[in-house]
Amino acid sequence: MRKSLLLVMAGLCLASVCTAQEPLVIQEQGSFLVGGSTLTDNGEFVFSDLWSQSGQTAYGDHAYVWYQVPVNAKKLPLVFLHGGGQSKRTWETTPDGREGFQNIFLRRGFTAYLVDQPRRGEAGFTLASGDAMTPMYYDRTMFTLFRLGRWPEYYEDSQFPRDKASLEQFYRQGTPNTGPLDFSVVADSIAALLEKTGPAILVTHSQGGGAGWMTVSRTENIKAIVAYEPGGSPRLFPEGEVPEAISTSFGLIEGTAIPLEEFRKFTKFPIVIFYGDHIATEPTDNYGSDQWRGELALGRKFAELVNKYGGDCTVIHLPELGIKGNTHFMFSDLNNIEIADLLSKWLAEKGLDK
Amino acid sequence: MRKSLLLVMAGLCLASVCTAQEPLVIQEQGSFLVGGSTLTDNGEFVFSDLWSQSGQTAYGDHAYVWYQVPVNAKKLPLVFLHGGGQSKRTWETTPDGREGFQNIFLRRGFTAYLVDQPRRGEAGFTLASGDAMTPMYYDRTMFTLFRLGRWPEYYEDSQFPRDKASLEQFYRQGTPNTGPLDFSVVADSIAALLEKTGPAILVTHSQGGGAGWMTVSRTENIKAIVAYEPGGSPRLFPEGEVPEAISTSFGLIEGTAIPLEEFRKFTKFPIVIFYGDHIATEPTDNYGSDQWRGELALGRKFAELVNKYGGDCTVIHLPELGIKGNTHFMFSDLNNIEIADLLSKWLAEKGLDK
């Protein structure tokens, strides 16, 4: 038994002892809170008045981080930032129970830092007052917006599993904002995390993309950005070069101007931006498809400008590679190993997987 | 290198290759949402009205679960349920960066399921409307209530680290309710989890203790309960045998009556309840110390009744064993290995560590 175990752990696989999945060998794992701030009530503290906020301090606006370091880890860790209404769960097990990017890239030797951004998930303490919590009635909107299909029909080639249990896991994996959404607060916390991790590769999804771009001016430790469908969050362009806003059935998709000197920071490291399938090429009332028509156009423009100023930004629109049916959550889609392979290939090309 | 790695992974330790901590070898890890319910708006769904809840369904009141299965795992997993205002972070890295019960018991061969209870952390979607989120000004209250000391002084023998960074981590590790606190909803989700895990040992902390007791009538899969300072949550007694409520400077500590037939379910498996230090023996204005005077008294009464009806319930008050200075969070205190050893010993005595 001991011998079989050793062989499995060493990555040697004998037919007689191999299980479906080899064990993960983790050198270190744990969690911490990072960044954030405090507020102190200026009343007088009275010991016996235990439920009064008078004179007490509130802690909040930090990020929660779960990390795992595999044995013989590669030099640059991956820092994963989720999208809107999501938590680090995004990167964990897929809705149908397969391994997500967390495990996949641990197996490929990368240290993984998974973030719950400030005012979300296990980083719920806010220093700004927010809305009351209510049930979130939006399953049909999510189905369409995240491009599983056009509700109630899946796209015929959709890479989302068809069983009801997977769809339910998907609907349940979100978690609400516990305070106002503030991209600066998120970017501050990611910058604080990167001061702790040292040089790292930032991997963002959707709304997290904007916070990711905003982190660039706050730290020197970003060595690459991998953005999966950045959108619904700040789209940064040099002053005077903000492209025309695009009207979609989802709403207006528009850029934000920043000084050219700040924009030039995007040229200091390689960037790759991935987009999935079923993105409209003409205006349509399918707002899921139409939003990403606008986002993709602005993403291409962003890449063009980064490259114009000497940077290295690649846009990968999966259908152009013949990879069809991917949703907004391509890293947990049925073909997520193929999606991971594309990232591995890019990381290797850029020398980021040493 | 390969050879050294093998030796380390095999648990053989050569002076020349040993690191401070040996790697964790994880057969499987991941996350899922479990339990919960749905609500459907009875309006008419209109595709184009994407932000309207009309005719849409809300998912919520589930638990979030992170699990890790070590290689050669023991038969019964540990299911960890956090306390009030906390998340699964409770069981992870300690405030001063050491390993918490999650890693300690993985190293001892136990599969660990870590829960964010419904309406908390990464399980934030609520099906009942809750309060608006505001900053939580209560650092001094927490310091006293959780028995680090009597604010602003630590107890001289406190097992909480004295540095400022650890205290800040501790204050930040909480996360608010995102809906009304409902112990039935929590117990339902834990029962749903146990249907998935099969027979298991439930480990609760503080407020989680009450939900833990309430789970017993909802599943046959609890094979033991380990409760760290259950309190601030339902304290269950047989009808006619509810002890007199105890008035403390924290508030009234009182039991809840349940039918004897239901109470008898607590006699079907072994239970151990741990209490830390600095629990008052006489009424005091130190509400942290005084609350637990009441909780400990009712805990002892609970054990007495479980045993009277043929059960096996042990109360361990650490100072009686000569273990001093423990806070309300003894499993992350400076001596948490010693605290874990006590649990291991108890599990072995009860044959629960096979």
Q: What is the CATH number of the domain that holds A261?
A: 3.40.50.1820
A39 touches chain B (CB under 8 A): yes
The CB density around residue A260, as the number of other CB atoms within 10 Å, is 14
Report helix angle B183-197 to B207-215, nearest 10. Answer: 60
Q: B18 to chain A nearest CA, in Å? A: 12
pLDDT tens digits, one per residue of A196-247: 999 999 999 999 999 999 999 999 999 999 999 999 999 999 999 999 999 9
Note the helical H segments in chain A: 2-9, 101-107, 139-145, 164-172, 183-197, 207-215, 260-263, 287-308, 336-349
> Would you call A9 an interface residue with chain B, using a CB distance cutoff of 8 Å?
yes
Residue A234 lies in a domain: yes
In whole angstroms, give the CA distance from residue A318 to residue A342: 10
- Reported ipTM: the value is 0.94
Q: What angle do CA A310, A316, A317 make, to 5 degrees?
A: 140
Length of chain A in residues, anyone? 354
* Inside any domain, residue B161: yes
A170 φ/ψ angles, rounded to the nearest 5 degrees: -65, -45
Low-confidence ranges of chain B (pLDDT < 70): 1-20
Q: How many interchain CB pairs under 8 A, A with B?
A: 265
Cβ contact A135–B39 (<8 Å): yes
Question: Which of A33, A105, A143, A291 has the most B C-beta neighbours within 10 Å, making it the best mutation to test the interface with B?
Answer: A33
Structural domain span for residue A187: 26-349
Q: Which residues contact B206 (CB under 8 A, 6 or more apart)?
A: B83, B84, B86, B228, B229, B230, B231, B232, B233, B328
State the pLDDT at residue A247: 98
Tokens of B65: 């679960």
Position B243, amino acid: P
Q: Please tell me which of the candidates A92, A122, A173 has its beta carbon nearest to residue B87.
A: A122
Q: Please name the residue that has the structure tokens 């931006």.
A: A273
Tokens of B125: 């979607």
Q: Do B24 and A21 touch (CB under 8 A)?
A: no
* Euclidean distance between CA atoms B109 and B353, whole angstroms: 9
What's the token pair of residue A105? 């890239």
Nearest Cβ partner of A28 from B21, B28, B133?
A: B21
Distance from CA of B45 to the nearest CA of A (A): 9
Cα A193 versus chain centre, distance:
15
Exposed, middle or buried: residue B27 (CB in 10 Å: 0-12, 13-18, 19+)?
Answer: middle
Cβ B261 vs Cβ B216: under 8 Å: no
* Contact between A47 and B144 using a beta-carbon 8 Å cutoff: yes
pLDDT (tens digit per residue) in B23-76: 999 999 999 999 999 999 999 999 999 999 999 999 999 999 999 999 999 999
User: Helix or strand or coil: residue B6?
Assistant: helix
Residue in A60, A122, A145 nearest the CB of B135: A60
CA distances, B40 to each of A136, B43, B219 (Å): 10, 9, 28
Given the DSSP bridges, would you call strands B222-228 and B270-275 parallel, antiparallel or unpaired? parallel
Chain B CA closest to residue A173: B33
Select from B2, B9, B128 the Cβ nearest to the Cβ of A25. Answer: B9
CA angle A87, A89, A95 (to 5 degrees): 130
Number of domains comprising chain B: 1
Structure tokens at B134: 């505001």
In Å, how far from its chain's centre is CA A160? 18
Interface test with B, best of A6, A125, A147 (most B CBs within 10 A): A125
Q: Which pLDDT score is estimated for A9?
A: 40
Kindly report the CA angle at A232 between A228 and A236, in degrees rounded to 5? 80
Taking CB atoms and an 8 Å cutoff, what residues of chain B touch A39? Answer: 135, 137
Residues of A in contact with B21 (CB under 8 A): 27-28
CA distance A172 to chain B (A): 6
Nearest to B134 among A6, A129, A141 (CB): A129
Asked whether the beta carbons of B312 and B271 are under 8 A apart, the reply is yes
Who contacts A237 (Cβ-Cβ below 8 Å, separation ≥6)? A243, A255, A256, A257, A258, A263, A301, A302, A305
Domain membership flag for residue B14: no
Residue at A86 is within a domain:
yes
The residue in chain A having the minimum alpha-carbon distance to the alpha carbon of residue B64 is A173
Q: Is the peptide bond before B152 cis (omega within 30 degrees of 0)?
A: yes
Kindly list the residues from chain B whose CB atom is less than 8 angstroms away from the CB atom of residue A10.
2, 5-6, 9
Whether A158 is covered by a domain: the verdict is yes
Q: In a mutagenesis test of the B interface, which of A17, A59, A88, A182 is the best target, namely the one with the most B β-carbons within 10 Å?
A: A59
- B19 contact residues in A (CB cutoff 8 A): 27
**Beta-strand pair A153-154/A149-150:** antiparallel
Burial call B238-264: b when 16+ CB within 10 Å, e when fewer: beeebbeebebbbeebebeebeeeebe
Between β-strands B236-238 and B246-247, what pairing exists: parallel, antiparallel or unpaired?
unpaired
B165 is a domain residue: yes
Task: Identify the H or E element spanning B300.
Answer: helix B287-308
- Phi first, then psi, for residue A52 (nearest 5°) are -85, 140
pLDDT of residue A130: 87
A126–B135 CB contact, under 8 Å:
yes
Interface of A with B in 84-123 (CB under 8 A): 87-89, 92-93, 97, 99-100, 103, 116, 120-123
Nearest one of B27, B322, B337, B78 to B224, comparing CA atoms: B78
- State residue B20's pLDDT score: 62
Alpha-carbon distances, residue A228 vs A167, A247, A320, B100, B271 (angstroms) = 21, 22, 16, 34, 48
Q: Which residues of A touch B139 (CB under 8 A)?
A: 56-59
- CB A188 within 8 Å of CB A166: no
3-state secondary structure of B63: strand
Cα(B260)–Cα(B237) distance, integer angstroms = 8
> CA-to-CA distance for A309 and B311, rounded, in angstroms?
75
Determine, yes or no, domain membership for B168.
Answer: yes
Looking only at Cα atoms, what is the longest distance across chain B? 71
Q: Residue A32 is nearest to which of B99, B137, B169, comparing CB atoms?
A: B169
Q: What's the gap in Å between the CA of B310 and the closest CA on chain A?
A: 40
B179 CB near a chain A CB, below 8 Å? yes
Chain A residue nearest residue B57, CA to CA: A137
Mean per-residue pLDDT pooled into runs of 10, chain A (354 residues): 39 43 96 98 96 97 98 98 98 98 98 98 96 94 98 98 98 97 98 98 98 98 98 96 98 98 98 98 98 98 98 98 98 98 98 98
Q: Is the peptide bond before B199 cis (omega within 30 degrees of 0)?
A: no
Question: Does residue B278 fall inside a structural domain?
Answer: yes
Could you say which of B24, B56, B122 has the minimum Cβ distance to residue A140? B56
